[in-house]
A and B are shown apart, each in its own frame.
Chain A
């Protein structure tokens, strides 16, 4: 992983979760990370331009309605919060990537971002080894950036 992007991801991911979804977020100790049987919801976004890469986010499924409820200003048990959860996760990733690219490379370069999509669950195990873990409302969230040339 490119060092500039890695540093940007570690700063920006926490800021976006706090500012856009009003979550309490802290870096995760190794002991607090889930085991290999973790069933996470994931989203992926690719970018092209002067540099190319992919970022994925994985989150505890129970966090998704909290994300969407906080962003929409509704109660967590509102049915709309449950249905909007995956979309909220994809949008958080969109904001993280957009802000990371500027944080890492400045305001000059023009990047083209893909539309965020659900991530392939088969990629979770590899991401868990190398990604950046945080706890959001005491629930694990994993960011992984790769392929940046």
Chain B
């Protein structure tokens, strides 16, 4: 049994890069679901169980910070780990996201082994 990952990024290229990285990292995967912004991600979460959410910050309609806050405020989603993968380099913002409850943070551009390490850090031992 593998993981189901929700990747939230408005860039189709980055969604593809992350999906490819999961394959290169040899993660046990059941599925990779993609959403283009926070609102789409919330719709997915209402319909589908996911093990982890990887989200960008800077997106149209609903950005990553709003998505994190919305998830942590909703008992149905509050326990789903969220990791941020973003170009953002502000430690002030990252600290704020950590206080809001994110489980990990990775800065773009990132290598497949860094993504594997992030998922290992968040999810623990592979299923």
Nearest CB of chain B from residue A121's CB, rounded to whole Å: 22
CB-based contact A97/B90 at 8 Å: no
Complex contact B17–A71 (CB within 8 A): yes
Q: For chain A, residues 2 to 51, give those with C-beta under 8 angstroms from any C-beta of chain B.
A: 16, 19-20
Which of A91, A95, A115 has a CB less than 8 Å from the CB of B60?
A: A115
By beta carbon, the residue of chain B nearest A97 is B87
Contact assessment for B109 and A20 in the assembled complex, using a CB-CB cutoff below 8 Å = yes
Cβ-defined contact, B90 with A111, below 8 A: yes
Residues of A within 8 A of B108 (CB): 20, 94-95, 98
Q: Is A102 an interface residue (CB 8 A)?
A: yes
Interface string of B17-32 (1 = CB under 8 A from A): 1001000000000000
Which residues 36-85 of A have a CB within 8 angstroms of B?
68, 71-73, 84
Check if A109 is an interface residue, CB within 8 A of chain B.
yes
Q: A107-B91, A110-B92, A111-B90 are in contact. Are A94 and B58 (CB under 8 A)?
A: yes
Stretch with Cβ within 8 A of A (4 or more), from B8-16, B41-49, B76-84: B8-16
Interface size class of B (residues with CB under 8 A): 20 to 34
Chain A, interface size: which category? 20 to 34
> Which residues of B are at the interface with A, using a C-beta cutoff of 8 A?
10-14, 16-17, 20, 58-60, 86-93, 107-109
Chain A residues at the B interface, C-beta cutoff of 8 Å: 16, 19-20, 68, 71-73, 84, 87-88, 90-91, 94-95, 97-99, 101-102, 107-111, 113-115
